[in-house]
Structure 1
Amino acid sequence: LCFRYQLDLCKRALEENIIVYLGTGCGKTHIAVLLIYELGHLIRKPRRDVCIFLAPTVPLVLQQATVIANSTNFRVQSYYGDGKTPRDHENWETEMAESEVLVMTPQILLHSLQHCFIKMDSIALLIFDECHHAQVHKRHPYAQIMKEFYNNDMVKPPRIFGMTASPVMGKGGSNKLNYTKCINSLEELLHAKVCSVDNAELESVLAFPDMEVHTYVPLSQSNLTVTYNKELDRSKLESERILRESLYDFKDSQKKLKSLGRLHGNLVFCLQELGSFGALQAAKAFLLSFDGDVLDRKESDMNDNSTRFKHHYLNKAISVLSSNILDG
């Protein structure tokens, strides 16, 4: 079963290279399966040509290979650098002779093309899942495959089919100029046109959740948290005094004061966001980490009073934060 928009996009993909731009859950993979089925006459054995389906991660490779195998009767194999991937011409020739749909990570195909294990003219259909990674200015394997091995002058170029839920990489998706630039880059590199479906058509056949945004104001601090904050501030001041008394190098003391300030800031953050118990666990973890660093130092460094300030601060913090917990 499939929806009309999926059939329409599949028909469009039979005519030219396209990039299907649809949201998550709108059935992009199903369109790819329909396309593989429609072009099946090009890859059915004993033909030597194959369909290669690229997915950027190992979980996606395994997932898409399973979907294709369960939805069709093609011979499907997956490759993702697990030690079983063919590494020479002979083994790849065997794989190409026995398989019809090869699902793999892009690095596998790039390596195979670079070593002539696989040739671009033996690929009848080349599918890019999450194809937004293919940008002209990037060195992603998707981009390298298209830049180095695909051109319109090929005698038998593969049909290109891309899928993405967002044609824009990274930040700036709301910027119209950046949005247009990314789409143009994607179309240029994949030699394909971006195609989508009107939201009204999708809403008529798919169930979309109603979105509600609830904004919460920050919680007011409890009296206990305020008390702990004051005690931690007092411990910080005491530790700063110890530090100044033990160090005569101004530059070194300023560096260590900043380090103490960061440590104090982290504990205060944990106290405000996680409560006294969370802050207590953080203080214990910091102390354990600090003790491990000290053990790795030379014996001469261990006698240096300049290391006392962190110990003093963390021990005082643990004492303060654990008092109410122990009392409870």
Structure 2
Amino acid sequence: MIFLSDMSNQSSLDDFRTNENNSNYNIPEFYNHALIKKNKILYKKFQVDIADSALRKNTMVVLPTGIGKTIIAVILIANFLEKKNQKVFFLAPTKPLVNQHLQTCKKFMELKEDNYIGLSGSISPAKRKKLFENAQLIFSTPQTIANDLEEKRYDLKDVGLIVFDECHRAVGKYAYVPIAEEFDKLVLGLTASPGGKKKRIDEVKDNLKIESVRLKTRKDIEIKKHVKEINIEWRKVFLSEDMEKIRKPLMKLFLERVKKLKKVGFLTYKYATHVSKKDLIECRKRISMRFKKSKKKGYLFACFLNQSIALQTYHLLELLETQGIDPMLKYVEKFENEKLSRNQRTFINNKFVKKAIKIAMDSKDISHPKLTELKKIIDEQFEKKNDSLVLIFTQYRDTIKSIIDQISANSNVYAKKFVGQASKKDDKGLSQKEQNKILDDFRENKINVLVSTSVAEEGIDIPDVSLVVFFEPVPSEIRTIQRRGRTGRSSIGRVIILIAKNTRDEAYLYAEVKREKKMKGILGDMVNI
């Protein structure tokens, strides 16, 4: 292995920082460094400044998607390798993202080919150990590294820098946590959104031993010149009369079961109509805790049943309200093909559920009003700009086919589903090779509409798109920011969020807006501390 720490005449990071006192503002066009290929990285002062500070202390960088977090990592790695005779880990949550970072570093950095290596579980342990020993810049998912460390195939004593991409994942039992626990040298964390709760952000910081937070938003003057405005619209629709008829018995059942739980001291902190899926999941934990402590357990069996029925009813209501009748019925079909638990049998045989299913079966040809509105949006977009690239996000795979069928009536639309690798019954996932082929076709405009689940939210190198559509709001500020960041890079971006009035859509939208605002306030207090 060839280390580069003793190369002579290296240009330090400070040599290329802007001289604020120079009246000519002699800023170079490109970032210049012996370990960076010439005329490859455009000089952006905020990137150089962040990389400079990150060279001295463990840093979490919070930047909007598409602003250049990876370039900051590349600049930092180049300056680190110039000074230190040590290895660097570049970790990311998924194999496509790992490969993307590997190719980015090869594109920009002046290192010999054998200094880069990608590690994965598909490589034998013995070979991984050898590759680790001989490489300088190592790219991997954290699960592979955590497993190798646990099995003592190698250790981190020769590693001097770890880059944790999508570092907001460094909570709980995620593999970033044990790796960081064993590491006591330089850390760089990259994220577009670390979360909307101070407790979660503090957990990420503590787990990665972060000493400094560097935050930039699209409103910052130094960022504004590198991004375009994003216009956000909300398109609201009303549920059809038939959908309201299906909804009515399900709401009766939901409220009935929640009120039973409230009578025995659960979920007392909210009105029954405001109880969320998260509340119901937490409620089960509380029932279990009481079950362990209580001598009289009989009534708690009924609580477990009521919680289970309330949660499954909530899911049916969510599918109906946000996705439509067909996705709801597809969920119900799963009960016919699986061995059911007692709670599931009680749920599916409940009179209110049976009534809702009967109405739904009679109305199954009726599509969600969002689909009509979506077709209108897509038609308008391609009429205005026939070379548009559009990304449509939906929470559920079962909705993708309905969306593609609806919008493909337009002869200008070439739509394709983009999902993860996991296969479900009657719904095959996409291999990494298939995903890459679809993304290549999308870049070349052979496909101009991608209809995706959450797999396209995080990290994957999707080109700047003309329009992003949320088929439904998501209550997560992290996922919303990731989705929104797919547009507004090289041209003015447009985001449209479809909302069914008086449904969970509205609750999710308000929850996300509140959490994002809270996150910005928390981060603002943490910057540079």
The reply to whether TM is greater than 0.5 is yes
Matches within 5 A, 1:1-328: 1-41=42-82, 47=85, 49-74=86-111, 75-81=115-121, 83-84=122-123, 86-88=124-126, 91-135=127-171, 138-147=172-181, 149-150=182-183, 157-168=184-195, 173=196, 178=197, 180-192=198-210, 193-197=212-216, 199-218=219-238, 255=349, 257=351, 260-267=354-361, 270-273=364-367
Question: Of Structure 1 and Structure 2, which has the larger fraction of its residues in helix?
Answer: 1
Radius of gyration: which is bigger? 1
Matched letter for residue 87 of structure 1: P
State the Cα distance separating 1:266 from its structure 2 match.
Answer: 3.5
Spell out structure 1 runs of 4+ moving beyond 4 A: 256-259
Unaligned runs of 5+ in 1: 151-156, 230-250, 276-280, 283-288, 290-328
Unaligned runs of 5+ in 2: 1-41, 247-344, 370-400, 403-424, 426-529
State the Cα distance separating 1:215 from its structure 2 match.
Answer: 2.8
Report if the CA contact (8 A) 1:121-1:158 is conserved. Answer: no
Instruction: Provide Cα deviations, 1:226-284, integer angstroms capped at 9, x if missing partner.
Output: 9xx9xxxxxxxxxxxxxxxxxxxxx99x9275563243244366444259xxxxx99xx
Report if the CA contact (8 A) 2:64-2:216 is conserved. Answer: no
Instruction: Provide Cα deviations, 1:289-317, integer angstroms capped at 9, x if missing partner.
Output: 9xxxxxxxxxxxxxxxxxxxxxxxxxxxx
The alignment partner of 2:164 has SS state of strand
Please give the alpha-carbon distance, in whole angstroms, between the structure 1 residues aligned to 2:91 and 2:185. Answer: 14
Instruction: Provide Cα deviations, 1:124-163, integer angstroms capped at 9, x if missing partner.
Output: 110100000112xx1010112223x13xxxxxx3210000
Matched letter for residue 226 of structure 2: L
Report if the CA contact (8 A) 2:62-2:190 is conserved. Answer: yes
The alignment partner of 1:260 has SS state of helix
Report if the CA contact (8 A) 2:160-2:186 is conserved. Answer: yes
What is the root-mean-square deviation in Å for CA atoms of aligned residues? 3.1
Report if the CA contact (8 A) 2:67-2:227 is conserved. Answer: no
Cα–Cα, structure 1 residues 202 and 269, in superposed 2: closer, same or farther, change >3 Å? farther
Please give the alpha-carbon distance, in whole angstroms, between the structure 2 residues aligned to 1:8 and 1:186. Answer: 23
Report if the CA contact (8 A) 1:50-1:96 is conserved. Answer: no
Percent identity over the alignment is 24
Matched letter for residue 216 of structure 2: V
Matched letter for residue 80 of structure 1: S
State the Cα distance separating 1:78 from its structure 2 match.
Answer: 1.1
Cα–Cα, structure 1 residues 124 and 57, in superposed 2: closer, same or farther, change >3 Å? same
Bigger Cα displacement from structure 2, 17-26 vs 110-119: 110-119
State the Cα distance separating 1:71 from its structure 2 match.
Answer: 1.1
Report if the CA contact (8 A) 2:161-2:185 is conserved. Answer: yes
The alignment partner of 1:107 has SS state of helix
Cα–Cα, structure 1 residues 77 and 42, in superposed 2: closer, same or farther, change >3 Å? farther
Report if the CA contact (8 A) 2:54-2:188 is conserved. Answer: yes
State the Cα distance separating 1:181 from its structure 2 match.
Answer: 1.9
The alignment partner of 1:120 has SS state of coil
The alignment partner of 1:112 has SS state of helix
State the Cα distance separating 1:214 from its structure 2 match.
Answer: 3.7
The alignment partner of 2:139 has SS state of strand
Cα–Cα, structure 1 residues 111 and 263, in superposed 2: closer, same or farther, change >3 Å? same
Report if the CA contact (8 A) 1:54-1:103 is conserved. Answer: yes
TM-score by length of 2: 0.39
The alignment partner of 1:213 has SS state of strand
